[in-house]
Structures are given as C-alpha cells and as structure tokens.
Structure 1
Amino acid sequence: MTETRHSAVETRGPTGTLERHGPIGTQRDKGPGAADGQEAEALLRQARASVDPELRAAIASLPVSMRRIALYHFGWEHADGTPAEGNAGKAIRPALVLASAAALGGTGARAAAVRAAVAVELVHNFSLLHDDVMDRDTTRRHRPTAWTVFGDADAILAGDALQALALRLLAADPHPASAAAVTRLADCVVELCAGQHADTAMERRGPDEVTLEETLAMAEAKTGALLGCACALGGLYAGATEEDVEALDAFGREAGLAFQLIDDVIGIWGDPCRTGKPAGADLAVRKKSLPVVAALTSGTPAAVELAELYGVPYEDDKEELERIALAVERAGGRDWAQAKAADRMARAMHELSRAVPDPEAAGGLLSLAEFVTRRST
C-alpha cells in the first residue's frame, strides 16, 4: 500500500449524538473521507442490487411458514403478508465478498461470486434472528423484531432455515471454489455460535468477573469471523492463493473488530432516531460490551461506580442510564474503544496490503472498511 488511512474519530457532541472529527491518517484529495464514503455507498447499492434477486429466489423456496417470517425480517413484507418496502440492511458482508473477488479477479470473478455473497447474507441474517431472541431485542431496522411478532420458536426456526439455504446455495454452485467455500462458511457458523455462547455466558457473570481479553476474543468470533469469511470467499471465487485468502480473512476480521468497537460505542451514545434502537438499550440489559468492559477494568474510581450501577437490574430509569453512560466515559471506555478501533483498522490495512498490494485494486475493500468504522448510525 502506498498510503495509510484509518477510521475516523467520533466523539459526542452537545446533543449526545456522535460527531465525526476527521480520519486518523491521510485522505485522498477530495476532502476528509467524502470520496471514500461515496464509493462505499455505491458499492453497497451495487451489492444490494446484485444479491437481492437471488436472495429473494432462495427465500421463495422456503415453506410458507418460514418464508413469511424471512420476508418480514428482510423488510419485504409486513406481518400480515402484504408487500413492504422495508430496509433489508446495508449489505456490507455481500459487498465485501464481491469487492474481494473483484480486487483479485476483476469483474468476471465478481459476477461469479454473487451466489457466495448471497450465502454470506443469509448466514448473517440467520445470526440476527437468533441474536434478537437471545438478547430480547425488540427493534431492528426501525421495526419490531421477528420474535416479537411471530414468537421465539418461529423466529429461531426461520433463522435455521436461512442457514440451511446458505449452505445449500454454495453446495449446489458449480463454481470450482464452492466446496472450499461451503467448508469455510460452515466453520464460520460454528465460530459464530461459539462467540454467541461466550457472549451469553458472560452476561450471567458479575461486572468484575469478565476480562477485556475474553471480550475481545468473543467480539472477533461474533463479528470479525463473518466479515473475514466474506472477504475470504471473494478471494476463493477469484482463484486467489491460499496465502492471499488467509490475508483477506485476516483483513476482514480486523476490520470486523473495528466495526464492533464502533458499534458498541453507538449502542451507548448513538441517536435512536438513526440507529433504530432505543437509547442505552445495551446498558439497560447490562450488556458487557467492549467500552463497558474496558471501563470496568480500568482501575479508576469511575470503574467502581460503574460496577455498582451495573450490579443492579434496570428498572426503567432513563436518568440511571445516563449515569451509567457517563461512568463508562469517565472511566475511559469510550476513548479506549475509539483508539482500539483505529488500531484494528491499521492492522486491517496491513493485511489487505499483503493480499492486494495495488492500491487501486484494493480501493473498494478499503472504502468499505472505512465506511463501517466511520458511520454514526
């Protein structure tokens, strides 16, 4: 790579929402992140357009009982089955598959990797359906979560069906990389489940019983693994060497951890009108997110205060949530998370330069990685 660019720094403004104060590192000539943001948004739109037809076709193959839940979850139908023009998500993971294939194999490889991109999107949404049940989240993408509408059992079964669809899509793909791709995706699902298990187990432990190291390992498994797998699948479909595929996987994992760090910051201080989730939802359920654990283990007076607050169940007290958020910030959790996100992005850039040394070819992947850590929604 001929230039070093990392994620932007985001801090809380007077209203409490996140504000961007420019990137850590250098930028291209068109101003702070503007060109990269536009490129990333174009790649996300292209990915959505590429994967949605096959994604819809895959979901249409499900039994009616599973299909209606999946269509609701993706925002394509209302709960009563009438058509909707909802939000199916940003398509970050499919975009990474396609950008990785294009970076190493050009437009032909990108076209060949669409089915792999759909499979990754199905696995991502399988995990969302299950996570919402386990975390008892009531909103996603500005609408009630599937389990609140259809019940726990139906939401879990719909998630299981999406995972099966993903593996079937790859297994049936005549592309020579499909066998390696389905194995890698299946391994990723196991890692996702292990990460979620670690997350739920940590929630049952006291505020002083969780280490920062295990929280980082859990976040890599839950978030970094699938982003890494997405990039690796793109490399496989481009016919990349094993070394380059592993470098792409490492790039995605590091970028994924940066993504999770910023996501956890947004989970505490983000604007609910933009996030689609209630303010302080993670704090209300006493979630041991990365900023919280960093604050709890900081050894500061604010950490002691935070541990006391976190040891008491939430009782619908918004002022209490504000006190907890302030304690996390005073204990350094917010600053630590933002600095760690920049560090992980630096590592991601290094891994990307190993697989795709040409900055021009790597531009799409770089823009996507910066986009997910620059966001404030």
Structure 2
Amino acid sequence: MTATLPVEITATRELVQPALRAAVDELEPSMRRIVSYHLGWLDEHGEEVTAGGGKALRPALALLAAQAVRAEPEAALPGAVAVELVHNFSLLHDDVMDGDTERRHRPTVWRLFGTPAAILAGDALLTLAVDVLERAADPAATSCLTESVQQLISGQSKDVDFEHRTDVELGECLEMADGKTGALMRCAARVGGLLGKAEPEAADLLGGFGGNLGLAFQLVDDVLGIWGSPEVTGKPVLADLRVRKKSVPVVAAFASGTPEGERLRELYRQPDPPTEEELHRMADLIERSGALSWTRDAAERYAAEARTCLDRLRPPAEIHTALADLTRFVLERDR
C-alpha cells in the first residue's frame, strides 16, 4: 500500500499550524517544551527542527467539514485545533500504556522525559483542547468534543482490558476500534460542521462520514501494526504481535472457525514472550485464516459507508473530491 495525502489536506496545515502553535504557547514552559517535542517542533535538546509531526487528518477534516456546508474554513479553526490537541493527548497516554519506545522515528516522550512528564503533558493538552473550543462559544461543539473524549477513553479502556482476555469477540473489538479512533474522527467532522452552522441533518451526515472513515483508518492501522514496514511506520516489525495485542485481524482470526485461528489462539495463551519464529508464524496464521482479507474488506466497507454519507451531503464539488480522495488515502496509506 502506498498513498500521498490529498493536496487539500496538506493545504489546511497553513491555517492549522499557526493556531496550534499559538494554543501550545499558552502552556507552562516545561510542558510547552515536552509537547513541542512530541509534536515534532523541537528536538530532545529544545532546539527547533523541521521534521513534521503526524498527518493532521483530524484538523483537516474539521476545516473541510465547514467548507462542506459552505462556510469558510476559518470558522472551524477552534474545532480543528481542539481535536488535534485531544488526538495528541491520547497518543501521549497510549505510548505510556503500550510501552512504545518510538513514535515517528524518534523516542517517545515517556522514554525521553519520563512517565510522569508524559502523563502530565497529555493532561495539559486535554484541558487546553476544551479551553480552546469553549472560546468559540458553541456549546454543541464543546459537548461533541467532551463526549468523544469519553468514548475515546472507553475504547482505550477496552483495549487495555483485552490484554488480559482470550475470549474477545469480534463485535466488541470493532466497538473498541470505534471508540479509540472512530469517535474523534466523527467529532472532527461534526464539530467542523457545527462551527460552520450546519443544519442538524448535515451535521449528522458529516459525523457519519467521519465515524466510518475513522473505523476504516483503524482497521488499516491494525493491518500496518502487523505487516507494516518498520522503515515507514516507525514501529518494530510485527509490533502488535510482539505484545499479543487483540487487534481486529487477530480477533477476526480467532472468530474464523479455522484451524489456523485456533493455533493462533494457543500461541496467544503462551506465558512466555513469542520468539521471532513464532511472530512470523502468527502473522502467517492470521493471513491463512482469512482474517487479513476480512479486515481489508471491512475497511473498504466502512470507507464505502463514508462515501455514501458524503454523497447524501452534496457538498461543493471541490470539497466532495477532497473528502473522497481522503477516503482513498486512508485505505491505501502505508504509515
């Protein structure tokens, strides 16, 4: 898989980045330095660097959603900044909980600055996100954000709980994925629409687009967590299998009713860390169980649902094209 971000997505960074930096500048200096490192603006010595951060899909989605209801993108700027701050709050905490030592080809914040600093930096971003959005004086938008945070936390809680279980069902795994990723993508699109003064039906369609796009994104992420290239993803090969993560392809294999799925379940139950040979064996079992194909097909279905919402919304032609291109990027990306 390979893809480049649509130009309309990258263009939104010119609006979002100055506003995001202005928000982060409000943080206390020690927190500001840690957050700026996490966002790719500073190196570990506090010196400015040009290496970028993440893909910034969520803020781009918020701005495009406002344009989809024929508002100016600037109307959704507080929402765009807020969802990006929440997203990075979740990444800081996820890295601590998952024990990940590298993100975007650099040491994670907890590894470099310590676990307490990473947790506090995440907390600072969450409160800052709510503060930024409250200034827009749109209670519905603020409510949307706080509800999505609760769903995100619930999804992450389920993910942690799954680590101690071998009886995870496919339905609850997809529900977890919706909480972890779908909820904030749904919020990004809906908040953009709300700040753009969308009618209720249009706001719902935007939320449907974002939520389905988020689920497609998470399923592709789960595939990359097993089969992605470390040079591209910045994560170790077979990363999710090393920690026996119950991602969608793994649980789909468990639910496949195949001998390969049962053998995978047995390997997941072993008390000792898997060997390199066992890791490759696990990946092979998932593929031969049909779970890899099932996960890719499911991602395609969610993307198709997102496009259906988009078609019903009938945004301006150039915005329709940009959002349709975004669904293709989500399916074809390699990082």
Q: TM-score, normalised by structure 2?
A: 0.96
Match of 2:154 in 1: 194
8 Å contact kept, 2:226–2:241: yes
8 Å contact kept, 1:51–1:115: no
Work out which of the residue numbers 225, 230, 241 in structure 2 matches 1:267.
Answer: 225
Q: Which amino acid in structure 2 is aligned with residue 248 of structure 1? A: L
Match of 2:97 in 1: 134
Match of 2:197 in 1: 239
1:86 is the counterpart of 2:51: yes
Q: For this pair of structures, how many residues does the alignment match?
A: 335
Query: What displacement does 1:358 show?
Result: 5.7
Matches within 5 A, 1:1-377: 19=1, 40-106=5-71, 108=72, 110-173=73-136, 178-206=138-166, 209-313=167-271, 315=273, 317-356=275-314, 359-377=317-335
Secondary structure of 1:79's aligned partner: coil
Q: Distance in 2 between matches of 1:135 and 1:359?
A: 42
Q: TM-score, normalised by structure 1?
A: 0.86
Deviation digits for residues 135-173 of structure 1 (CA, Å, limit 9, x no counterpart)? 111111111111111111110110010011111011112
Q: Which amino acid in structure 1 is aligned with residue 60 of structure 2? A: A
Runs of at least 4 residues of structure 1 off by over 3 A?
A: 313-316, 357-361
Closer, same or farther: CA 228–241 of 1 in aligned 2, 3 Å: same
Q: Distance in 1 between matches of 2:22 and 2:192?
A: 21
Q: Which amino acid in structure 2 is aligned with residue 201 of structure 1? A: D
Q: Distance in 2 between matches of 1:236 and 1:335?
A: 37
8 Å contact kept, 2:70–2:316: no
Secondary structure of 1:288's aligned partner: coil
Deviation digits for residues 213-259 of structure 1 (CA, Å, limit 9, x no counterpart)? 00000101110011111110111122111111111111111111111
Which stretch of structure 1 is more off in the superposition, 83-92 or 40-49? 40-49
Give unpaired runs (5+ residues) of structure 2. Answer: none
The answer to which structure has the higher strand fraction is 1
Deviation digits for residues 5-64 of structure 1 (CA, Å, limit 9, x no counterpart)? xxxxxxxxxxxxxx46xxxxxxxxxxxxxxxx66x4312321222111111111111112
Q: Distance in 1 between matches of 2:244 and 2:304?
A: 30
Deviation digits for residues 174-209 of structure 1 (CA, Å, limit 9, x no counterpart)? 5xxx22111110111011001111111111112xx1
8 Å contact kept, 1:95–1:117: yes
Q: Which amino acid in structure 1 is aligned with residue 283 of structure 2? A: A
Q: Distance in 2 between matches of 1:53 and 1:63?
A: 18
8 Å contact kept, 1:170–1:179: no
Q: Which amino acid in structure 1 is aligned with residue 144 of structure 2? A: R
Q: Distance in 2 between matches of 1:313 and 1:104?
A: 53
Q: Distance in 2 between matches of 1:52 and 1:361?
A: 21
Q: Distance in 2 between matches of 1:46 and 1:314?
A: 48
Aligned residues with identical type, % of pairs:
49
Closer, same or farther: CA 349–337 of 1 in aligned 2, 3 Å: same
Q: Which amino acid in structure 1 is aligned with residue 40 of structure 2? A: G
Give the superposed CA RMSD.
Answer: 1.5
Q: Distance in 2 between matches of 1:127 and 1:43?
A: 25
Q: Which amino acid in structure 1 is aligned with residue 81 of structure 2? A: V
Q: Which amino acid in structure 2 is aligned with residue 352 of structure 1? A: L
Give unpaired runs (5+ residues) of structure 1. Answer: 1-18, 21-36
Query: What displacement does 1:315 show?
Result: 3.4
Q: Which amino acid in structure 1 is aligned with residue 61 of structure 2? A: L
Q: Distance in 1 between matches of 2:283 and 2:80?
A: 37
Q: Distance in 1 between matches of 2:240 and 2:315?
A: 39
Q: Distance in 2 between matches of 1:94 and 1:170?
A: 13
